[in-house]
Structure 1
Amino acid sequence: MAEQRADRPGEHAGGAENESLLTVLLALAANLGIAIAKIVAAVATGSASMAAEAAHSIADTFNEVLLMVGLRRSGRPADRRHPLGYGKERYIWTLLVAVAIFGMGALFAFYQGFQTLVRHHGNEADPLVGYCVLAVSLVLEAISWRQALRQVRAAAHAEDLPLTAYIRRTDEPTAISVLLEDSAALIGLLLAFAGLGLHQLTGSAAWDGAGSVLIGVLLTAVALVLGRINLNLLIGSQADPRVVADVRARLAAAPEVEWVVDLVTMTVGADRVLVCARLDFRDALTAGDVERACVRMGRELREAHDEIDEIFLEPVPRDDPELRERVIARYGRPLPPEQSGTG
């Protein structure tokens, strides 16, 4: 087997790292200030919705710290024990963010909400301080949200993808995490506003409790979405289908290659892709010809796609029945003769 190794990820990775760090730092500063203000307001008003929002902001502040740790640790270079690098560690820390959102935010919001609904009463203190804190929080959260949205939109534009498609395909979950957190925070603030206002207008604390429960539902939904994104990345997802198609086309077009028998790609970190291909080379080639062809094809693939990190190219016969069976089993169905055995 001939193997080509890149010494580092793509050229654009450093810029993306810096942008992600700025997004996380801005969110951390905003959430820390908001959390302190909400705690004071929750104590002053006795509002269940405000208490739920305070827990939400505490969880978000803790989450930004987790994201910063993930950014730093996942950027370490490959070594003997981890030859493919530490890129996937970022997904573990972001998955912990999803757990924290549910465990620290959603469960507390459910507890506060149901407790208020069962008791049917709450603190009748003047909610003015609550309104003021919520208004300031909306401004600060909007600033953080705008930065996260700007980064995600720019990344989607660079990938020539719609925003929703980029969120589904991205291998960089940090900015997505901040965007989802801040989006949930903005909606949660509106729910808290509604809970406080309806409580004041009707005199019934049930509205405040309902607002807290809805905040819990919102945070649970965000936690599930984040968890699903990072679970797929941790399992090992295929590279962008456009990259896969281009890699297959380039390998098939090489003059030394008769058949692309199998092609496997996997995301191993943000902007880092592993490529493994089994190729049927022309029988007239010498071993030296195959080695030089592998070196050239590896170089061309990395020049075409700077996110490609590791490349493994293996010469195989395309008519091997065991190999053919394994490839067909992976893709779940027999492939057309002209594509048989290709990924």
Structure 2
Amino acid sequence: MSASGGTKAILAALAANLSIAVAKFVAAAFTGSSSMLAEGIHSVADSGNQALLLLGGRKAKRASTREHPFGYGRERYFYAFVVAVVLFAIGALFSLYEGYHKLTHAEPLSSPQWAFGVLIFAIIAEIFSFRTAIKEANAVRGDQSWMAFIRRSKSPELPVILLEDLGALLGLVFALFGVTMAVVTGNPVWDAVGTLMIGFLLAVISVVLAVETKSLLLGESAAPEMESRIRAALDATPQVDRVIHMKTLHIGPEELLVAAKIAVTRSDTAPEIAAGIDEAERRIREAVPIARVIYLEPDLDREAVGRV
């Protein structure tokens, strides 16, 4: 996770959420608004999540050990999954509970101007945070759609921050809707409705994050275009007749394991095969720099032998 990429977006979101959380709790205390309280808890959960992402990025940098020979790159996937759980357990469930409680025990709002002022401030702050996340994501997204970027990205931080910031903005809109309707109609039930909307929104986002990070934790292969470059590098190696089969696995966002069985001719000597494997590894790393661990198994080209 480069300092100019995911980390910058995380720090921007963390700074925004900490300041917003304080403002929301102050507004909730003055107004008695459940929407504001739910949004305050949402901002606290988001702040904790960003701290977890930073912690995961730091732990992932540890050197490999005998117990973990492939290093700790997947720490980032683990902490991203924890973020999804925290968002659901703290953000979504609390908001749903608070919304249900206010729906059954409605209380009138007091000093709604506090809520309006804080919500406007929070929306402006979240827009700046979201803008930073979009800018950093655009630098690596290429021509992918936003949905494809979130689903295919091997670095979990930017998709997490993007969805968190989007959820925060929509949550603020829902809170503003609930408070506005409660003031206009004089019916505090609308405040509870806004809180429930926030809870359902956070539940959906947390489920999406959990599904995507679970896939990364289980182990995903390289992107198709990356596998094509690896296969082309092998095919271009003079000592490699063809690729019999190949598998790839991300052992971290910027670390790829490549395992392939390559066909060699019967007349090749052991030194020639060894030199061919070294050349193939060099070409793979040149084509795909994140291919850190490469295992190539030579075998006879049995199809060619059968044709003779």
Quick one: distance in 2 between partners of 1:17 and 1:89? 17
For 1:71, the equivalent position in structure 2 comes to: 57
The aligned length equals 303
1:263 aligns with 2:246: yes
Contact kept? 1:52, 1:109, Cα under 8 Å: yes
1:200 aligns with 2:186: no
Contact kept? 2:240, 2:263, Cα under 8 Å: yes
Shift in Å at residue 112 of structure 1?
Answer: 0.9
Quick one: distance in 1 between partners of 2:63 and 2:277? 25
Shift in Å at residue 17 of structure 1?
Answer: 4.3
* TM-score (norm. length: structure 1): 0.85
Residue identity (%): 37
Higher mean C-alpha displacement, 251-260 vs 186-195: 251-260
Q: What secondary structure is seen at the aligned counterpart in 1 of 2:238?
A: coil
Higher mean C-alpha displacement, 248-257 vs 302-311: 248-257
Greater RCO (CA < 8 Å, at least 6 residues apart): 1
For 1:143, the equivalent position in structure 2 comes to: 128
Quick one: distance in 2 between partners of 1:134 and 1:166? 30
Aligned equivalent of 2:108, options 95, 119, 123: 123
Shift in Å at residue 247 of structure 1?
Answer: 1.2
Quick one: distance in 2 between partners of 1:299 and 1:276? 14
Contact kept? 1:275, 1:310, Cα under 8 Å: yes
For 1:106, the equivalent position in structure 2 comes to: 92
Q: Which amino acid aligns with 2:135?
A: R
Quick one: distance in 2 between partners of 1:247 and 1:95? 30
Contact kept? 1:17, 1:71, Cα under 8 Å: no
Matches within 5 A, 1:1-343: 16-119=2-105, 121-157=106-142, 160-317=143-300, 319=302
* TM-score (norm. length: structure 2): 0.95
Q: What secondary structure is seen at the aligned counterpart in 1 of 2:241?
A: strand
Contact kept? 2:234, 2:283, Cα under 8 Å: no
* Structure 1 spans left out of the alignment, 5+ residues: 1-12, 321-343
Instruction: For residues 190-230 of structure 1, give each alpha carbon's deviation from its aligned partner in whole angstroms, at most 9, with x where no partner exists.
Output: 00000000001111122111111110010011101111111
Instruction: For residues 79-98 of structure 1, give each alpha carbon's deviation from its aligned partner in whole angstroms, at most 9, with x where no partner exists.
Output: 33222111101010111110
Shift in Å at residue 319 of structure 1?
Answer: 4.7
Q: What secondary structure is seen at the aligned counterpart in 2 of 1:53?
A: helix
Instruction: Give the CA RMSD over aligned residues.
Output: 1.5
Q: Which amino acid aligns with 1:308?
A: A
Shift in Å at residue 318 of structure 1?
Answer: 5.3
Q: What secondary structure is seen at the aligned counterpart in 2 of 1:257?
A: coil
Quick one: distance in 1 between partners of 2:176 and 2:144? 35
Q: Which amino acid aligns with 1:155?
A: V
Contact kept? 2:182, 2:188, Cα under 8 Å: yes
Quick one: distance in 2 between partners of 1:35 and 1:182? 14
Instruction: For residues 249-288 of structure 1, give each alpha carbon's deviation from its aligned partner in whole angstroms, at most 9, with x where no partner exists.
Output: 2213322222311100011111211100011211110011
Quick one: distance in 2 between partners of 1:166 and 1:182? 16
Q: What secondary structure is seen at the aligned counterpart in 1 of 2:124?
A: helix
Quick one: distance in 2 between partners of 1:18 and 1:145? 16
Quick one: distance in 1 between partners of 2:59 and 2:200? 32
Quick one: distance in 2 between partners of 1:149 and 1:122? 39
Shift in Å at residue 181 of structure 1?
Answer: 0.5
For 1:335, the equivalent position in structure 2 comes to: none
Instruction: For residues 95-119 of structure 1, give each alpha carbon's deviation from its aligned partner in whole angstroms, at most 9, with x where no partner exists.
Output: 1110110111001100111111112
Instruction: For residues 45-91 of structure 1, give each alpha carbon's deviation from its aligned partner in whole angstroms, at most 9, with x where no partner exists.
Output: 11111111011001001111101101101122323322211110101
Contact kept? 1:199, 1:207, Cα under 8 Å: yes
Quick one: distance in 1 between partners of 2:248 and 2:162? 28
Q: What secondary structure is seen at the aligned counterpart in 2 of 1:285?
A: coil
Higher mean C-alpha displacement, 256-265 vs 51-60: 256-265
Contact kept? 2:233, 2:287, Cα under 8 Å: no
